[in-house]
Chain A
Amino acid sequence: MSTEIDKAELFVTRLLSNPTLLTLNPLQKEEQILSFMEINAKQLLPTLSSDAFFPGLSWTAIRSLLVGKLRELIDESLIPGLQRQLYEKIDFGFISLLRQQSWPQEKSKEAVFNFTKKIIISPEGRNDFSGSYNAISNQIVHKYLNSIFSAHSYIHFELTKVQRLKMNKDEIINMINISLLLKPSIYVFSSSMNKESSSGIITQSFAEKVEASLIKEIPSLPEVLIKSGVRSNLSFRDHKYLQATARLTSIFNTMARSVKADMKVDRGASSPEKSWFSIARKNYKYFGWDIKMLDELYRFSAENNW
C-alpha cells in the first residue's frame, strides 16, 4: 500500500509541476488536475492500471488514491496560505463596531481558521473557496473599495446608507474579506447543496438553517457578518434587501475564481477584469447579481485597465 501511495505522490507531483499551473492558487491547480484526470481517464487508465503503477485496481480506486494524495499535497500549501491571509491580511477589529465584542481577535481568527478547514473538506466547498482565497490573496476587495469610496456612487450609498455600516473603508474591506471566507460555509452543512439552479444560488430557508448553525459554530462572529457571508449565496433578483456586503462578496468570489492573476492580455483584447464585468453584466440574472453594482465595478475596471 505504501508503495502505491508513493507512486500516487510521484504521479501527482509530476502533474502539479506543469508550468501552466504556476500562476494558479492551490485550489485552482487542484481543479485543473481533477478536470484533466476526468477528461483523460480513458487514456490514463491503461498505463495507470499496469504493473508499473497500480495493478489490479479499477479506475475508481485509482482515482480515489490520486485525488486523496492530490488534496493532501494541495493542503500542504493551502492551509499555511490561509493562515497567513487570516492572521496577516485581515483585521478583526471592526467586529466591535458591529456588536459588543468580548472575544479577543486571536480567538475569533482561530475560530474562523478552524471552521475554514472544515469548508475545504468537501469538493464543492474547495471549489467555492478557491474564489474567496484568490480574492483575499490578490487584495481585490481593497482595490475596488478604494474606487468605490472615491466615487461615492451607488455602491458607496448601499454600504453606508442602506446597510448603514458605520465603518471606514478599511473596516468594510475586512468585513467583506471575512464574508468571503464564510461564503462557502453552506457546503459544511449540506453536500447536496440544496441549490435552486446550477448557478450556485441557494434557497432562503436553507440560508437561514446555515446561519443558525454557523452562529452556534462561531459565536465570536456577529450575526450580521455571518449573514453577509451566507446570504451572498442568495439571488439579488429574488431578495431585493440583500446586504450590499453580501452582494459584493458574491461578485468578488466568482470573479476571483475566474480571473487569473498576472494574466498576459493579448493585443486587441480587453483587460481581464473589465472583460469579466462586461460578461457578468449580461449574465446578472442567471447568477443573481446586482446589475447596478456590476455597472459601477465595470466602470472602475475600465478606467483603471484592470
Chain B
Amino acid sequence: MQKKIKSFVESIVVMAIFLVLIQTFLEDYSVLAGWSWNFRKILIYSGFGFDLFFSIEFLIRFFSALLNKKGSIYFLEGKGWIDFLASIPLLIFNSGPSFFALITGSGFFFGMGGLLNILKIIKVIRIARILRLLRILKIFRQIKHTGSLMAQRHIAKITTLSITTFVFTLLVFSIFSGLIALPSSEVKFENNQKLSISKFIENKDNTNLSEAAGNFADYESDLLIIKNNGNTIFSRFDNPFYSTVFGPGDYKYFKTSEFEFFFDVRELSQIQAISNIMFFLVVVMSVLVFLVYYSPHFAMTISDPIHVMKRGFLEKDYNLEVEIPELYKNDDIYKLGSLYNEIYLPMKVRETDTGNSHTNLSMDDFEDLFK
C-alpha cells in the first residue's frame, strides 16, 4: 500500500514538472504574444502554486532524509540542491513577490501605482527566474530512460553538469551586470525617459498643460499617462484597456514634485521574454539531445557490452559473444569484450562440456513447489 502511495506521489511530481515547464514557457510567450493581463495573471498564480508545491516537496524530502540521517546524502548526491534551487529561491524572489503584489495591488491600477512600483525588484525576480531552468533536471530522477543504472546515472550527471554550468553562468552574468550597471536597453530607456521628462518640465506651457501633455505624448510614443497634482491631464488609452492589457511589469513610473508619468515598457519586456524563451529552449533541447542521442549511444557502447558479459559470467547457459563494432574496436570496453569472446567463452564452453551439472533454474523459481 505504501509503495502504491509513493508511486502515485512520484507520478504527481513528474506531471507537475512537465506542467511547470509548460507554464515557464507560457509566462514568457504570453508577454511576447501580448496576451491579456487576466491570462497572464493566471500564469503568475499558477507559477506561485508550482513554486509552493516544489518547495513543500523539497522540504518533505529534505526533512525525511534528515530523519534517516541522510540529509547530506540527499542534498549532495541525491541532487537535493537542485530541488532546493528550483523551489525556495523562486518562491521567495520570484513568484512570491509577484503573487503578493497581485493580491494587494490588483484591480486598483491607478491608486496602487506607487505600491506596484515595489516591483523594481523585477530585476531580482528576473535573475532568480533563471533557476527555473534547473527544474528540467528533476526529470532524471523520475524517468527511467534506460535499463542500465550506470547509464542512467552517467547521463544524469553529464546533463546536470552542462545545464547547471549554463544556468549559473547566466545567473552570475545577470548579477554581475546588475552590480556594475552594464549598459542595457532598460538603463538606456530609463535615461531617455528622464531626459524627455526634464525637457517637458522645462518647456511646458503652464497655461495649457493638456495641450503641452498632448504634444509631449505625440513625441513620446511610449507615454501612457501624465498626471498633474493627482489629476490626469493625458491618457493614451481608456481605463478598461489598461485593466485588460497592462500588468504591473508592463509600465514604468516616474514622479517629480508636481507630475507623475507612466511609460509603456512592454516592448522591453518582450525583448527580455525572447531571451528567456531562447535560454529555455537551449536547456530543453540540450536535455533532449542528451536523452535521445547520447543516452542510446552510451548504452550501445558501454552498458550493452557490459550487460552481455555480465550475463555470460552469471548464467551457465548464456554464451552469446559481445558484438564488436569495427568503429569502436579499440575502445577499452570492446577490448575487454574481445578478451571475453576469445578467451573466457571458449573456456566456459569446454568447462560446461565436462558433464558438471548446470542449470539456470533455482529454488527461487519455484514458489509453490512443496504446496
Contacts and interface: CB of A to CB of B under 8 A. Distances in A.
B369 A11 contact: yes
15 contacts: A15-B366, A21-B361, A31-B359, A39-B359, A198-B355, A200-B353, A258-B317, A267-B299, A267-B304, A267-B307, A268-B303, A269-B320, A270-B320, A282-B345, A282-B346
B320 A272 contact: yes
Contacts, number: 98
A43 to B, nearest CB: 6
| For the complex of A and B, 5 pairs with smallest distance between CB atoms | A268-B304, A35-B359, A269-B320, A282-B346, A35-B357
A265 B355 contact: no
Given A268-B300, A270-B322, A47 B346 contact: no
B197 to A, nearest CB: 69
> Which of B307, B317, B353, B360 has the most CB atoms of chain A within a 10 A radius of its CB?
B353
Interface in B139-185: none
Interface residues of A, number: 41
B143 to A, nearest CB: 20
B350 A286 contact: yes
A267 B362 CA distance: 25
A102 interface: no
Contact of A269 (B321, B346, B349, B369): B321
Interface in A39-73: 39-40, 43, 47, 52-53
A265 B320 contact: yes
A20 B350 contact: no
Interface of B: 299-300, 303-305, 307-308, 311, 317, 319-323, 341-342, 345-346, 349-350, 353-355, 357-363, 365-366, 368-370
B361 A36 contact: yes
Contacts of A269: 304, 308, 320-323
Which of A18, A47, A52, A268 has the largest number of chain B CB atoms within 10 A?
Answer: A268
B366 A283 contact: no
Given A266-B308, A269-B323, A270-B323, A40 B349 contact: no
A130 to B, nearest CB: 13
Contacts of A31: 359
Contacts of A260: 317
Give the interface SS of chain A, mostly helix, strand, loop or mixed.
helix
B342 A282 contact: yes
- With most chain A CB atoms within 10 A of its CB, the pick from B305, B307, B369 is B369
A26 B305 CA distance: 32
Interface stretch (A89-97, A171-179, A235-243, A273-281): A273-281
B340 to A, nearest CB: 11
Given A20-B361, A279-B321, A266 B353 contact: no
Contacts of A286: 350
A199 interface: yes
A32 interface: yes
A36 B307 contact: no
Nearest to B305: A268
Contacts of A199: 350, 353
B321 A275 contact: yes
Interface in A1-40: 11, 14-15, 18, 20-21, 31-36, 38-40
A120 to B, nearest CB: 18
B323 A268 contact: yes
Given A32-B359, A32-B360, A52-B370, A266 B311 contact: yes
Contacts of B366: 14-15, 18
Contacts of B345: 275, 279, 282
Interface of A: 11, 14-15, 18, 20-21, 31-36, 38-40, 43, 47, 52-53, 198-200, 258, 260, 265-272, 274-276, 278-279, 282-283, 286-287
Contacts of B365: 18, 20
Contacts of A47: 370
B366 to A, nearest CB: 7
A271 B323 CA distance: 9
B173 to A, nearest CB: 43
Nearest to A36: B361
B368 A14 contact: yes
Contacts of A271: 320
A189 to B, nearest CB: 20
B350 A283 contact: yes
Contact of B353 (A198, A268, A272, A282): A198
B327 to A, nearest CB: 14
A51 B349 CA distance: 41
